[in-house]
Structure 1
Amino acid sequence: MFLNRLILTCWAVTWLAAATNAANPFPQPSPIDHAASSDSPNDRPNVLFIAVDDLACTLGCYNDPISQTPHLDRLANQGVCFQRAYNQLPLCNPTRASVLTGLRPDTIKVYDLDRHFRDEKPDVVTLPQAFQKAGYFSARVGKIYHYNVPASIGTDGFDDPPSWNATVNPRGRDKDDEAMVFNAEPHRKISGSLSWLAAQGNDEEQTDGMIATEAIQIMQAHRDEPFFLGVGFFRPHTPYVAPAKYFDMYPVDTLRLPYSPADDRADIPTAAFAHNCPVPNYNLDEATLLKATQAYYACVSFIDAQVGRLLDSLDELGIADQTIVVLWSDHGYHLGEHNGVWQKRTLFEQGARAPLIIRPASMHRQQDDKLLAGRGTCRRVVEFVDIYPTLTELASIEAPTGLEGRSLRPLIDNPVAAWDGYAITQVLRPADDRLGEPVMGCSIRTDRYRFTQWGEGKHGIELYDHRSDPNEFQNLAIDPDETAIAVMNRLSPILQSKASGKTPTTPFNPARL
Structure 2
Amino acid sequence: MFIISCDNKSGKKEGAKNQPKNILFIAVDDLKPILGAYGNTVVKTPNIDKLAANGFVLENNHCQQAVCGPSRASIMTGKRPDYTKIWDLKTHIRSINPDIVTMPQYFKQNGYQTAPVGKIFDFRSVDRQQDSISWTHRYANLKRKNKEYVNETTHISYEVLHIPDSATVDGMVATRSNHLLRKFSKEKKSFFLATGFHKPHLPFVVPEKYWDMYPIETITLPEFQKTPEGAPYYATQPSWELRGGYADFTKDYSVPISEAKQKKLIQGYYASVSFIDTQIGLVIDELDRLGLRENTVIVLWGDHGWHLGDHNMYCKHTNYEQSTRSPLIFSAGKDKIGKSNSPTEFVDVYPTLLELAGVKSPENLDGISLVPLLEGKVEKVKDFAVSQFPREDDKMGYTFRNKTHRYTIWMKDNFRSNQPFDASLVDAEELYDYEKDPKETKNLVKEEAYKTVKEDLKAQAIAFFKTQEVK
TM-score (norm 1): 0.78
The SS at the match of 1:389 is: helix
Taking the aligned partners of 1:416 and 1:199, their CA distance within structure 2 comes to: 47
Contact 1:380/1:416 (8 A) holds in 2: no
Contact 1:102/1:385 (8 A) holds in 2: yes
Aligned-pair CA distance for 1:283: 1.5
After superposition, the Cα gap between the structure-2 partners of 1:145 and 1:77, relative to the gap in structure 1 and judged at 3 Å, is same
Matched, 1:285 2:252: no
Q: Pick from 135, 141, 145 the counterpart of residue 164 of structure 1.
A: 135
Aligned-pair CA distance for 1:467: 1.7
1:137-180 Cα deviation digits (max 9, x unpaired): 0000000000359xxxxx96582111111222213897253661
Look up the match of 1:442.
398
The SS at the match of 2:444 is: coil
Look up the match of 1:44.
20
After superposition, the Cα gap between the structure-2 partners of 1:111 and 1:418, relative to the gap in structure 1 and judged at 3 Å, is closer
Higher relative contact order (CA 8 A, sep 6+): 2
Taking the aligned partners of 1:74 and 1:498, their CA distance within structure 2 comes to: 37
Q: Equivalences for 1:236-255 in 2 at 5 Å?
A: 236-255=200-219
Taking the aligned partners of 1:233 and 1:147, their CA distance within structure 2 comes to: 13
Look up the match of 2:64.
88
Taking the aligned partners of 2:360 and 2:73, their CA distance within structure 1 comes to: 20
Look up the match of 2:272.
299
Q: Pick from 211, 216, 234 the counterpart of residue 271 of structure 1.
A: 234
Look up the match of 1:28.
none
1:257-314 Cα deviation digits (max 9, x unpaired): 10117x6543221121126449889612101110111111100000000010011111
Matched, 1:461 2:429: yes
1:307-349 Cα deviation digits (max 9, x unpaired): 10011111100011111011111100000001x1110001100
The SS at the match of 2:163 is: coil
> Which letter does structure 1 place at the counterpart of 2:193?
L
- Which deviates further from its counterpart, 160-169 or 45-54? 160-169
After superposition, the Cα gap between the structure-2 partners of 1:236 and 1:40, relative to the gap in structure 1 and judged at 3 Å, is closer
The SS at the match of 2:341 is: strand
Aligned-pair CA distance for 1:484: 2.1
Look up the match of 1:116.
92
Q: Pick from 358, 364, 381 the counterpart of residue 330 of structure 2.
A: 358
Taking the aligned partners of 1:315 and 1:103, their CA distance within structure 2 comes to: 33
The SS at the match of 1:272 is: coil
Matched, 1:259 2:226: no
Aligned-pair CA distance for 1:227: 0.3
Matched, 1:138 2:114: yes
Q: Pick from 140, 152, 174 the counterpart of residue 212 of structure 1.
A: 174
Q: Pick from 488, 491, 504 the counterpart of residue 454 of structure 2.
A: 488
Matched, 1:226 2:190: yes
> Which letter does structure 2 place at the counterpart of 1:270?
Y
TM-score (norm 2): 0.85
After superposition, the Cα gap between the structure-2 partners of 1:471 and 1:176, relative to the gap in structure 1 and judged at 3 Å, is closer
- Which deviates further from its counterpart, 265-274 or 198-207? 265-274
Aligned-pair CA distance for 1:129: 1.1
Taking the aligned partners of 1:243 and 1:49, their CA distance within structure 2 comes to: 25
Taking the aligned partners of 1:416 and 1:209, their CA distance within structure 2 comes to: 40
Contact 1:271/1:460 (8 A) holds in 2: no
Look up the match of 1:317.
290
The SS at the match of 1:324 is: strand
Amino-acid identity (%): 38
> Which letter does structure 1 place at the counterpart of 2:457?
L
> Which letter does structure 1 place at the counterpart of 2:401?
R
The SS at the match of 1:171 is: helix
Taking the aligned partners of 1:320 and 1:226, their CA distance within structure 2 comes to: 12
After superposition, the Cα gap between the structure-2 partners of 1:162 and 1:209, relative to the gap in structure 1 and judged at 3 Å, is same
> Which letter does structure 2 place at the counterpart of 1:170?
L
Q: Superposition RMSD on alpha carbons, in Å?
A: 2.5
> Which letter does structure 1 place at the counterpart of 2:406?
R
After superposition, the Cα gap between the structure-2 partners of 1:217 and 1:281, relative to the gap in structure 1 and judged at 3 Å, is farther
Aligned-pair CA distance for 1:458: 4.2
The SS at the match of 1:175 is: coil
> Which letter does structure 2 place at the counterpart of 1:68?
K
After superposition, the Cα gap between the structure-2 partners of 1:139 and 1:476, relative to the gap in structure 1 and judged at 3 Å, is same
Contact 2:307/2:322 (8 A) holds in 1: yes
Q: Pick from 333, 336, 343 the counterpart of residue 374 of structure 1.
A: 336
Matched, 1:471 2:444: no
Taking the aligned partners of 1:174 and 1:259, their CA distance within structure 2 comes to: 39
> Which letter does structure 2 place at the counterpart of 1:474?
K
After superposition, the Cα gap between the structure-2 partners of 1:241 and 1:156, relative to the gap in structure 1 and judged at 3 Å, is farther
The SS at the match of 2:221 is: coil
Matched, 1:98 2:74: yes
1:178-222 Cα deviation digits (max 9, x unpaired): 661776xxxxxx5xxxx0111120111000010010001101101
Taking the aligned partners of 2:356 and 2:145, their CA distance within structure 1 comes to: 38
Matched, 1:334 2:307: yes
> Which letter does structure 2 place at the counterpart of 1:53?
D
Q: Equivalences for 1:58-97 in 2 at 5 Å?
A: 58-97=34-73
Aligned-pair CA distance for 1:499: 5.5
Taking the aligned partners of 1:123 and 1:315, their CA distance within structure 2 comes to: 37
Contact 1:281/1:336 (8 A) holds in 2: no
Taking the aligned partners of 1:413 and 1:73, their CA distance within structure 2 comes to: 20
After superposition, the Cα gap between the structure-2 partners of 1:157 and 1:499, relative to the gap in structure 1 and judged at 3 Å, is farther
Which residues of structure 2 form unaligned runs of 5+?
A: 1-14, 244-251, 413-424
Taking the aligned partners of 1:51 and 1:347, their CA distance within structure 2 comes to: 21
After superposition, the Cα gap between the structure-2 partners of 1:198 and 1:131, relative to the gap in structure 1 and judged at 3 Å, is same
Aligned residues: 428
Aligned-pair CA distance for 1:231: 0.4
1:379-424 Cα deviation digits (max 9, x unpaired): 2110110000000111111222210000010122128734443100
> Which letter does structure 1 place at the counterpart of 2:233?
T
> Which letter does structure 2 place at the counterpart of 1:273?
T
Q: Pick from 380, 385, 392 the counterpart of residue 347 of structure 2.
A: 385
> Which letter does structure 2 place at the counterpart of 1:143?
K
1:90-127 Cα deviation digits (max 9, x unpaired): 01010100001000001111100011222222111110
Aligned-pair CA distance for 1:89: 0.4
Taking the aligned partners of 2:331 and 2:255, their CA distance within structure 1 comes to: 39
The SS at the match of 2:361 is: coil
Taking the aligned partners of 2:438 and 2:116, their CA distance within structure 1 comes to: 37
Matched, 1:203 2:165: yes
Taking the aligned partners of 2:116 and 2:129, their CA distance within structure 1 comes to: 13
Contact 1:148/1:158 (8 A) holds in 2: no
The SS at the match of 2:342 is: strand
